[in-house]
């Protein structure tokens, strides 16, 4: 990274509530507590690494308000409520310098249909295709090779990275961020078995992505069979996630990598799904439900549930079952021994 921050710059960026120690070092990199060197910024984001703070070589360390240790010589502690969130503020500044905003305008290699409407404040990158009646809002940036389908609408201050596809008539509201390769509005997976053949069911609905949604690389959001597939405000979706047709996802949900949601499922607000979790079609995952990695949810959940395993079970029950499962070999061995002893006893009695 080509960055250079003075300690006082970092105090202002993270709005440190108090400080301890001092350093004259210029911060040029970010590193974990264990690998940091002089000139690095580090942070205590997880209490299990608390013991590493005392030994770290980092010049500046973001620590929580309740941290009681003292900085070393030529070391500066910044006390903040949430060190991880404070680090994100620093990274946001670095991101702006590493990937500066391109100037507004349409690249000469892009194709823009005559009937498309593009704000003068938008940026259309190389080899983009903007079809008829599409709308691109002010401040939105399309990187290279983005395709925007007929009648699609993209709001203001969105960031659409290389190779994304926004299908016909789909809608992205404001401040949406799509990582490379995202597909919004591919056909839903719908077929009817008729006379020995799988006949395709036309998928004529749309996808609506609400404000402040972020979607990771190569994730796919299928258009609805009819009506809308919806991704709610503030929801964050990781890489390689599949969202089926007519799914409705509420506000501020988290979907980790390789999650799959079958058609017509509903996720209410604040649902969190761990990596490779799956949700069956036509069920409702209630508000605040959390599911561990690879959980298979095939039934409506209660609000605030904490689930794990396949089929999904309450988290602590699943953990107890797993402990007992590990004891099965020894249990079968003991049962085999008891059967042998019973057989000997029976033979002796005869």
**Residues identified as active-site:** 245
**How buried is 45 (Cβ within 10 angstroms: 0-12 exposed, 13-18 middle, 19+ buried)?**
middle
- 118, two tokens: 């593009």
List, in sequence order, every residue forming a beta bridge with 285; answer none if it has no partner. 267
- Classify 303 as helix, strand or coil: coil
Residue 341: is the preceding peptide bond cis (ω within 30°)?
A: no
Query: By C-alpha distance, which of 222, 266, 267, 227 is closest to 241?
Result: 222
Gap between the Cα atoms of 144 and 131, Å rounded: 15
DSSP 256: -
Contacts of 350 (CB under 8 A, 6+ apart): none
Gap between the Cα atoms of 128 and 139, Å rounded: 16
Gap between the Cα atoms of 280 and 9, Å rounded: 49
């Amino acid at each position: 990274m080509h960055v250079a921050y003075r300690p006082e710059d970092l105090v202002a960026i993270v709005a440190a509530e108090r400080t301890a120690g001092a350093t004259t070092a210029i911060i040029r990199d970010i590193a974990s507590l264990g690998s940091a060197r002089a000139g690095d910024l580090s942070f205590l984001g997880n209490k299990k690494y608390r013991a590493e703070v005392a030994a770290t070589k980092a010049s500046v360390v973001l620590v929580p308000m309740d941290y009681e240790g003292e900085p070393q010589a030529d070391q500066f502690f910044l006390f903040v409520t949430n060190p991880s969130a404070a680090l994100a503020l620093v990274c946001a500044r670095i991101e702006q310098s590493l990937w500066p905003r391109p100037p507004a305008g349409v690249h000469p290699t892009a194709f823009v249909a005559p009937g498309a409407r593009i704000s003068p404040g938008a940026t259309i990158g190389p080899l983009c295709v903007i079809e008829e009646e599409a709308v691109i809002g002010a401040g939105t940036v399309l990187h290279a090779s983005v395709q925007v389908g007929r009648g699609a609408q993209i709001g203001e201050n969105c960031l659409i990275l290389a190779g994304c596809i926004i299908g016909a008539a789909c809608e992205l509201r404001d401040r949406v961020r799509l990582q490379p390769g995202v597909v919004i509005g591919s056909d839903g997976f719908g077929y009817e078995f008729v006379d020995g053949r799988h006949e395709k069911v036309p998928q004529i609905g749309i996808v609506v992505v609400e404000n402040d949604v972020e979607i990771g690389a190569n994730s796919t959001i299928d258009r609805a069979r009819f009506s809308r597939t919806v991704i709610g405000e503030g929801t964050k979706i990781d890489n390689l996630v599949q969202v089926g047709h007519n799914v409705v996802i509420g506000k501020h949900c988290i979907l980790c990598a390789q999650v799959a949601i079958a058609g017509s499922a509903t996720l209410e607000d604040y649902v969190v799904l761990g990596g490779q979790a799956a949700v069956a079609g036509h069920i409702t995952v209630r508000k605040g439900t959390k599911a561990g990695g690879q959980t298979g949810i095939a039934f409506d959940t209660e609000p605030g549930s904490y689930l794990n395993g396949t089929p999904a079970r309450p988290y602590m029950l699943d953990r107890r079952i797993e402990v007992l499962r590990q004891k099965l070999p020894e249990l079968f061995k003991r049962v085999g021994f008891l059967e042998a002893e019973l057989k000997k006893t029976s033979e002796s009695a005869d």
